[in-house]
Structure 1
Amino acid sequence: MRLALLPALLFSLSFPSLAQEKAKGYIQNNTVPVATISPDSRDYSDLEAIGNAIADSRIVLLGEQSHGDGATMLAKSRLVRYLHEKKGFDVLAFEGDFFGLNTGWGLAQKDSAGVRAFLTRNLPPMWSSTAQCASLLYSFLPATYLYGRPMEITGFDSQVGYAHSNASLRDSIDQYLRRLGVPYTRMGRYEQLFLPSITRLKEWTGKTKEGRVWMEGFALAADTVLAQLGPTASDDFGYLMLENARAFARQLLVYEQPLASYIVRDTQMARNLRWLAQVRYPNRKVIVWAANSHIMKNAGSALKGQDAAIRWMGTQLAEDPTLERQAYTIGFASRQGTYRNGPKLVGVPKPLKDGFETWVADSMAYGFVDFRRFRRENPSRRELFMMKGSRHMNATALWTKVFDGVFYIRDMEPTVSLKP
């Protein structure tokens, strides 16, 4: 019997399109049109399918193929407004400075000018200085503080170098460690080397020999201090301040090795987001704003190539059964157009002939498909197909297991710099 099945199996492996018919048909028949991506549209009837897919999830992760995708920024801005106004989400967590956004947001004036002043100095510029995010950040967010249901800003990235961290991270860590009487604070090298190293993190100097020496020394010293704090302090915000500083130093040490750098960074981001969801905001509904790559689930079993070797933040979070039940992950995909990569405008690569982007109807400008429902209806299916799921690159994967849903944009537009 097994020998009889072998030719059919080899035939299906030789012709992948024959092994993906279920996914193809599902995508063709179940991608629901979205009328607009304009953040100013208050008629949310076209987003009902997304709301139904999210159901009672209290964490929604919104991706983006690249940080230069202007159309995606508009779509995400509209989704944030919808999730706040119709689904009760009131925390917006950015792929941004964990310390600076968590400690600085409460100090910011909550009018448009105050929010803009804080975010332009403490949120990465691909969002804070982008015209397509301006309506969300500088009109909608301040308005939530006027009508009594404020949207709180936070961050989960270990990377520092922004205004509030530059001014306050060293002193905040110092005060925390001295208050707890950590033995290392009584050593001479604490003030001579350890504290100055925290200040130097903002320099991002991982390429020079001298820079590597002080980063390695700081990371080892941080290991000692964290051990002296002990596991009972591991949920303290102060503990995480130092843990993030150590992670950033380790990331800088391998900055020219993308694979190793992502592993360090995503592990810390997963730790930070888990803490935000379970310790700081255990009963709140949280929107996560990040890149597609960082929110990808099941990397080791569903992806191929280098992406499969990285335990992305989303993969680590999904390994926690409680968080997996509570979260819904939305990736973004686009068919054609242009995106921004630094100062350059880059054409979106053409999709391959037989893949996700070509299965969506040509006439559909925007759409959404619920992959979680596909998994529920087809629990044993493992269908590989092509999609531009990350960094606009065509890639073959078990995409129905990587994202819970996908927001489709036919014509990508690049981000535009916000005028001062």
Structure 2
Amino acid sequence: MGGLLSPARAQTPAPLPTHAVRSIAATDTDFRDLEFLAREIGSARVVMLGEPSHGEGNVFEAKIRLMRFLQQRMGFTTVAFESGFYDLHKAQQELEAGKSTQEALVNSVFPIWTGAQEFQAVLPLIGKGKLRVAGFDPQLTGEYSGDLVDELQAFLAVEKGDMALNYDYLDEVISFMGEHHTFLPTAKLADFEQELGKAARLTDKAAAGSAPKRRAEAAFWQQCLRSLLAQARNYAINDPGGKSETEFKAKDSNPRDAGMADNLLWYLKQHPQEKVICWAALPHLANKGGAG
């Protein structure tokens, strides 16, 4: 029969190993029940902690205990949230300047997490000398996003050609995107692309300069502009937020998920010594989850 097995003789895959976890308490630091993870994770630089939805406090607690393990036992150094790429870049700057962790996260991370009582156990793990923060969502998600255009203008002010940029227009469109998670109806995508293109050319010029600090800042702005452009196109062309619950399909999230992946890969490349814990909803972390 050509070597084919009948259904009765077909081999089934071996069951995956299971491990009993003694506790999900966020403050429990007896990690003996989690030691199997050190073998499973090995030398990986990225661990993704999902959640079935954004509403289970017990899942938050379990994730925070895992964060403690990954930080204290395995040397992980950054927690990257499913929240704004720009917003959490700003939050990390604020933490380095001495701002409180609570203030930095409330102004950058989605309130579905920061407003939950169980999430508060994250705060002692983050800050100077502790875990760094980053964001990989192309969306704008917090109060800090209101500073984006002003900070872009301040960065580009020394570049010749800066005055040709319509910062008021950029601020209007980007602010609307941040507040409504859709593209400004009265704006044209082509006009927005043109203005971002001007800014991108200036950041490219800054990235070619000789000062290391400015080159690093330019690299961030290059990625930030790429991320904003991709999300603007997603809003304007696909309009995922305009679909009803019955109309929305898993694939409608794919452009945003692709932007998340691009931002995370950029962070890993820019910070090669960092080991990153990703905090996000499970569908955004799943492989090939958007076919339906």
TM-score bin (small chain) = 0.7 to 0.9
1:204 to 1:252, Cα distance in 2 relative to 1, 3 A: farther
> Helix, strand or coil: the match of 1:288?
strand
Q: What pairs up with 1:270-285 in 2 under 5 angstroms? A: 270-279=261-270, 281-285=271-275
The amino acid that maps onto 1:156 is F
The amino acid that maps onto 2:277 is I
Offset at 1:222? Answer: 2.2
Equivalent residue number for residue 64 of structure 1: 51
Equivalent residue number for residue 83 of structure 2: 96
Percent identity for Structure 1 against Structure 2: 26
Could you list the structure 1 runs, at least 4 aligned residues long, displaced by more than 4 angstroms after superposition. Answer: 227-235, 257-261
Equivalent residue number for residue 242 of structure 1: 225
1:265 to 1:177, Cα distance in 2 relative to 1, 3 A: farther
The amino acid that maps onto 2:196 is A
Counterpart-to-counterpart distance in 2, 1:34 and 1:100: 34
Q: Structure 1 or 2: larger strand share? A: 1
Equivalent residue number for residue 127 of structure 1: 113
> Helix, strand or coil: the match of 1:150?
coil
Per-residue CA shift, 1:328-382, capped at 9, x if unaligned?
Answer: xxxxxxxxxxxxxxxxxxxxxxxxxxxxxxxxxxxxxxxxxxxxxxxxxxxxxxx
> Helix, strand or coil: the match of 2:104?
helix
Where in structure 1 are there 5+ consecutive unaligned residues?
13-17, 310-420
Is it true that 1:163 corresponds to 2:150 in the alignment?
no
Counterpart-to-counterpart distance in 1, 2:10 and 2:80: 38
Offset at 1:43? Answer: 0.8
The amino acid that maps onto 2:25 is S
Counterpart-to-counterpart distance in 2, 1:52 and 1:205: 41
Offset at 1:64? Answer: 1.2
Equivalent residue number for residue 285 of structure 2: 295
Instruction: Please point out which of 261, 265, 268 is paired with 2:259.
Output: 268
Equivalent residue number for residue 196 of structure 1: 172
Is it true that 1:140 corresponds to 2:114 in the alignment?
no
Per-residue CA shift, 1:53-86, capped at 9, x if unaligned?
Answer: 0112122111111111222111110000011111
Per-residue CA shift, 1:266-293, capped at 9, x if unaligned?
Answer: 12211110111111x2112111111211
1:264 to 1:220, Cα distance in 2 relative to 1, 3 A: farther
Where in structure 2 are there 5+ consecutive unaligned residues?
209-217
> What is the TM-score normalised by the length of structure 1?
0.58
Bigger CA radius of gyration: 1
Asked if 2 retains the 8 angstrom alpha-carbon contact of 1:105 and 1:154, the reply is: yes
Per-residue CA shift, 1:294-341, capped at 9, x if unaligned?
Answer: 1223x1xxx6xxx236xxxxxxxxxxxxxxxxxxxxxxxxxxxxxxxx
Matched residues, number: 275
The amino acid that maps onto 2:117 is A
